[in-house]
Structure 1
């Protein structure tokens, strides 16, 4: 039985047992509280979809996890290490990578060079962009592995700005994976895609994130129920349900708050 009470779904007390854990996280802007005591625990290799109405606080929560914003109070753990208050680049180096609603690519660089640049830090080259990229064998080998995984090998020499929208999103997914992060945050990854592109991209995400932990914000309920192992429902800055897709779908509070079906009685 799911409960609307955030305290009823509070995370257990051992942070090291979770890939990602939020404990009583709050964020306010002035007198307005956007995130109101969120508790969330995501196990390693789980795929969790974060859903909720517009204005529920989903993007703010993603910013808090990834370090773009700091919580007003509460704690966030990544692989058992506390990360709230750390800079975004430090959190990234600890093993968390995220994509954004708007593609962030190097538009004039080729698909291959976008991936090469993204791989430099994770393969030990830091930000030494003076390296001659074609001469870095490990970078090239991993880049071509990603090209095959993303089904972008035929476009390897194509400038990123000439790709289709769906291909750009696939490249951005590859750049997110290039860090080697164990925890991946995807913000509305299928937004703007056709139904056929969405179906293809869901399969691509499942394959590309295999063995990693995934937290994604998504409005398309077909994507949510086709991708997620668990669903967290955020309403007015609080998680009102966190469970398997079938149980969340059947929850009358979720139906009333988000899925558009009024509870009986």
Structure 2
């Protein structure tokens, strides 16, 4: 077994300094500066094409930034490959679920746990004998409310259950910083309300960044909101202050739409 990677002492779980991304002659991100405290839940919002998914790609290592610096728990990560960043304590989900469709919910989680538990490429171990992996997979199934679907192939789960399973796979690495890209997209209102509660419970004590278009989800989940417009952060503050920010109203939501967004019942800020 290997010990968890120690995190350098830092006041920020995640820090971005003057981050740029250019595709050809197009500047998608133009000097993003952002700090996220440990345990904070931050929602990143903005119009289509603002650069939200690109920002997630840079943070998670899917692509290197054109310029700027990114730190994870005080350690420089910009330009590192995704697998190294994951092993340093950051994990993410995507807009489209990425599951092993023919494997059961239990086996999807167990596969996601193996590296973090130190098994790596030890093909000689029988999965049935990995008591720590089996126990942790069962714990995650219970947390995700998927215990009754333990042996169901992922492709036969409902859409909301698949999203819950993907959340569990994101958590399985033991990462302290979690990135969720539009986690409730495609869900009904009742499914969305339930899933917000699930996210809050499952990520308690971890740092959470989420890209989300549903403003009810944003207000029900986020401690702070960062607004990305034309590749720049134009505001980053509490939901109440961002709601009242004239620059945000003019650049993104419009005063009528923004002021009419309610906080979902039962999901007010803690």
| TM-score after normalising by structure 2 | 0.90
In 2, the alpha carbon distance for the partners of 1:141 and 1:131 equals: 16
Does 2:227 match 1:233? yes
Runs of 5+ in structure 2 lacking a partner?
A: 1-8, 259-270
* Aligned equivalent of 1:26: 20
Q: Which of residues 134, 137, 150 in structure 2 aligns to 1:140?
A: 134
Deviations 1:205-259 (A, max 9, x none): 0000001000000000000000000000000000000000000000011111122
In 1, the alpha carbon distance for the partners of 2:124 and 2:187 equals: 36
For residue 96 of structure 1, report the CA deviation from its aligned partner.
0.2
Aligned length: 249
* Aligned equivalent of 2:5: none
Counting only pairs closer than 5 Å after superposition, residues 115-154 of structure 1 correspond to structure 2 as 115-154=109-148
For residue 17 of structure 1, report the CA deviation from its aligned partner.
1.2
Superposed CA RMSD in Å reads 1.2
Distance 1:131 1:236, change over 3 A: same
Deviations 1:174-197 (A, max 9, x none): 000000000000000000000000
In 1, the alpha carbon distance for the partners of 2:182 and 2:101 equals: 21
Runs (4+) of structure 1 exceeding 4 A deviation are none
For residue 128 of structure 1, report the CA deviation from its aligned partner.
3.5
* Aligned equivalent of 2:204: 210
Does 2:30 match 1:36? yes
For residue 136 of structure 1, report the CA deviation from its aligned partner.
0.4
* Aligned equivalent of 1:92: 86
Q: Which of residues 72, 77, 85 in structure 2 aligns to 1:78?
A: 72
For residue 260 of structure 1, report the CA deviation from its aligned partner.
2.0
Deviations 1:103-156 (A, max 9, x none): 000000000000000000111111435532121000001001000000000000
Runs of 5+ in structure 1 lacking a partner?
A: 1-14
Contact 1:166 1:197 (C-alpha < 8 Å) held by counterparts = yes
* Aligned equivalent of 2:166: 172
| TM-score after normalising by structure 1 | 0.92
